[in-house]
């Protein structure tokens, strides 16, 4: 007879879980809501969980996964393959730096991981979701909720203030995120510059605004494409330290493209892309 383990609640409440379930990946255990008691127990067992509709789901440790990723460009009559069968797995909360020579495909890979550039072949999963199997609007909503992106050239809207720029992701999702935007600006040290236009900010300050915009919706994944490429050494160090701190504070998975080998050593793992493949 199989033993059952009770999780809080009174007898007859249905809050019972069978021990063998813990060894099964992506397993689902149905229990009545509220789930708090069961979730607390599962937390003690070291499990990552999702809870919805009266279910508890054990989640995979992998946040970003690619399978056989291909991407090429045409220059005149010539086709140049930039990504050649890239297989990649990045864990939840991992801080990964992507390095390689110019033209190796670092930015192309980052764009593809973030849902900004469709691969010719292969798949990308973010938090278990096949990104390119989603419809266009679904994918846009998914990116808005789950993904933050910091561009090398900031891409701030010149006619908006720092605060208004940071509030844009909330506006896209139909939410007034002014308060959250202000908190994000304060976190990056720019609370007093909230009413300034991008042209009135230094390069380092503009990049901080871009970082605040990327984290305002509290994404699960943060991508940063050469975030220090246009900055001096002092600002570069400050920006990189900030990104690493934010990743820890918000339990985000961080993927950074950089040419700086010294900065890349600050992460949990360094990947090198060369000849269209990860080494």
pLDDT digits (tens, 9 = 90+) for 109-167: 999 999 999 999 999 999 999 999 999 999 999 999 999 999 989 999 999 999 999 99
What are 244-254's pLDDT values in tens digits? 999 999 999 99
For 230, counting Cβ atoms within 10 Å of its Cβ (0-12 exposed, 13-18 middle, 19+ buried), the class is middle
Tokens of 172: 């896209």
**Residue-level pLDDT at 240:** 93
Ranges in the chain annotated CATH 3.40.50.300: 62-278
**Residue-level pLDDT at 279:** 87
What parts of the chain have a pLDDT lower than 50?
Answer: 1-48, 50-54, 56-57
C-beta neighbour count of 66 within 10 angstroms: 23
**Gap between the Cα atoms of 253 and 65, Å rounded:** 12
- Per the CB < 8 A criterion, the answer to whether 78 and 268 are in contact is no
CATH class name, domain 62-278: alpha beta
Query: Quick one: how many helices (H) and strands (E) in the chain?
Result: 9, 15
- Per the CB < 8 A criterion, the answer to whether 201 and 183 are in contact is no
Query: Nearest-CA neighbor of 36 among 7, 5, 57?
Result: 7
pTM score of the predicted model: 0.78
**Residue-level pLDDT at 59:** 58
């Amino acid at each position: 007879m199989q033993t059952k383990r009770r999780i809080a609640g009174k007898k007859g409440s249905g809050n019972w879980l069978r021990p063998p379930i813990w060894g099964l990946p992506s397993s689902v255990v149905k229990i009545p809501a509220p789930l708090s008691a069961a979730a607390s127990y599962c937390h003690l067992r070291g499990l990552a969980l999702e809870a919805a509709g009266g279910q508890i789901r054990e989640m995979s440790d992998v946040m970003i996964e690619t399978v056989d990723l291909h991407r090429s460009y045409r220059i005149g009559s010539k086709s140049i393959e930039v990504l050649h069968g890239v297989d990649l797995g990045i864990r939840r909360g991992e801080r990964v730096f992507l390095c390689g020579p110019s033209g190796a495909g670092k930015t192309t890979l980052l764009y593809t991981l973030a849902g900004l550039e469709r691969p010719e072949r292969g798949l990308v999963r973010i938090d278990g979701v096949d990104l390119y199997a989603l419809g266009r609007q679904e994918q846009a909503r998914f990116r808005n909720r789950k993904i933050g992106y910091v561009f090398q050239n900031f891409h701030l809207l010149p006619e908006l203030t720092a605060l208004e720029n940071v509030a844009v992701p909330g506006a896209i999702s139909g939410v007034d995120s002014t308060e959250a935007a202000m908190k994000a600006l304060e976190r990056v040290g720019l609370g007093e510059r909230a009413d300034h236009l991008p042209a009135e900010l230094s390069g380092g300050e503009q990049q901080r605004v871009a970082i605040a915009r990327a984290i305002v919706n509290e994404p699960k994944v943060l991508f940063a494409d050469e975030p220090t490429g246009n900055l001096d050494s002092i600002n570069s160090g400050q920006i990189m330290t900030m990104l690493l701190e934010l990743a820890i504070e918000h339990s985000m998975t961080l993927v950074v493209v950089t040419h700086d080998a010294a900065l890349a050593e600050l992460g949990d793992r360094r990947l090198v892309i060369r000849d269209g493949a990860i080494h």
